[in-house]
Amino acid sequence: MCKQKIEEFRYYEMPVGRYDLALLGEKWKTNYKTGEQHFHNFFEIGYCHSGEGVVYMGEERPEYQSGSISLIPANFPHGVHSKGDSVCYWEFLYIDMVGFVGKCFEHDVYAREQAWQGMVNIPLLVASEEYPRLSNVIRSILDENREKRARNKEAVNGYLYVLLQELLRLNERMATKLEIDGVHIEKIRPALVYVELYYSKEIKIKELAESCNISEPYFRKLFIECMHMPPLEYVNMVRIQKACDFLVKEDIPMSALAWRVGFSSISTLERNFKKVVGETPKQWKMKGAGQEFVSYRTRALKGW
């Protein structure tokens, strides 16, 4: 029998013309209790200024302390849990990696896909002292968002490019260790990249399994273990997130929206949108867009 769990999907709206969104200040000094894990539509970077506890990353529970950096790709369930009653101070960055990588390599499709293949696509918790350059660039982006000095956007974009290179280096460094440790999420990483790149096209489970060089039955089992949902449910969730992006950015007919995000009809779009978000695309556009973030409770399946 399938064990079901409810996780929260938090849709963040990126500021117009930017690839970064920072959550800063006193609001994030608190006693964190995970409760139910949640996931986002953007790559999340968390920086722990003080405190200790554990970061929930799917089934993993690595311990954090002052100087810890969490790297959470889009759509991975996670949460922060303080030790006892202690107050911890985290600040968070959300990065539109799809948009930024696309901008960096807009005239070189091969380089863009290579960057995607080399990007960190598994959740990690690392220490600042072990990765000082990564820590410095993250703190610089946080400070730029805090101070908002002249040419802030240009400065942040420069730091984002350095951040991209550091993440690519990190992934190269981690690749051997992950292969030795047999980390399951790494085995399905090519499928996650495939969905991100080709969500607007018809996607079959067989194609996703082939991208990972594993059998289809094993891929299905492994995917559910890692992502807490079946592959097609994940594909549809990504498509709904992309639909939200289009709804925020432009006034688009439902027929065109369905086609852009890979649904065969308006009814299929609306049915899947309501399943994830709880309301129709039109209702969401009127009610949800424009907030700092909008939370939805979505059912993620654990097991068969």
- Report which of 165, 104, 156, 172 is spatially closest to residue 133, judged by C-alpha positions: 165
pLDDT per residue over 64-107, tens digit each?
A: 999 999 999 888 888 899 999 999 999 999 999 888 988 888 88
Q: Are 191 and 231 members of one domain?
A: yes
Per-residue HEC secondary structure of 243-267 comes to: HHHHHHHCCCCHHHHHHHCCCCCHH
97-104 helix and 152-181 helix, angle to the nearest 10 degrees: 110
Predicted confidence at residue 178, as pLDDT, reads 53
Kindly report the CATH number assigned to the domain that includes residue 277.
1.10.10.60
Q: Are 88 and 191 members of one domain?
A: no
Q: Are 216 and 71 members of one domain?
A: no
Among 151, 181, 211, identify where a domain stops. Answer: 181
Q: Are 71 and 113 members of one domain?
A: yes
Predicted confidence at residue 13, as pLDDT, reads 82
Predicted confidence at residue 176, as pLDDT, reads 56
Parent domain of 192:
183-290
Q: Are 162 and 188 members of one domain?
A: no
CB of 69 within 8 A of CB of 43? no
Q: Are 196 and 56 members of one domain?
A: no
Residues near 117 by Cβ (< 8 Å), separated by ≥ 6? 190, 193
pLDDT per residue over 189-239, tens digit each?
A: 888 888 988 999 999 999 999 999 999 999 999 888 877 788 998 999 889
Please give the model's pTM, rounded to 2 decimal places.
Answer: 0.76
pLDDT per residue over 259-288, tens digit each?
A: 999 999 999 999 988 888 878 888 888 775
Domain membership of residue 264 (yes or no) is yes
Q: Are 91 and 51 members of one domain?
A: yes
Domain membership of residue 299 (yes or no) is no
Tally of domains within the chain: 2
Q: With bands split at pLDDT 50, 70 and 90, how would you rate the model's confidence at 12?
A: confident
Q: Are 32 and 159 members of one domain?
A: yes
